[in-house]
Amino acid sequence: MPSDKKLIIKEENCPKNHRCPAVNICPVGALSQQGFGVPAVDYGKCIKCGKCSGFCPKKALVLDAGN
């Protein structure tokens, strides 16, 4: 399990002009979005599966290994 990874939102890559479809891809409901804003991550729910980061065509959601 990739427990050393963390989901990072790259706001500069997010177009912020539509409902983020990756919110619905998350199997545990860890992503949410207010209006057309940048998605927010509930790190208490995130299982670091990478489905959202693999789905996002703009690479605004990145599963990062950290330092």
Confidence of residue 65 (pLDDT cuts 50, 70, 90): confident
Q: Where are the domains of the chain?
A: 6-56
One-letter amino acid of 1: M
Question: What is the structure's pLDDT at 3?
Answer: 63
Give the pLDDT confidence of 9-20 residue by residue, as tens digits.
999 999 999 999
Q: pTM here? A: 0.84
Classify 6-56 by CATH class.
alpha beta
What does 4-41 look like in DSSP terms, one character per residue? T-EEEE-GGG---SS--THHHH-TT--EE-STTS--EE
pLDDT per position as a tens digit, 26-51: 999 999 999 999 999 999 999 999 99
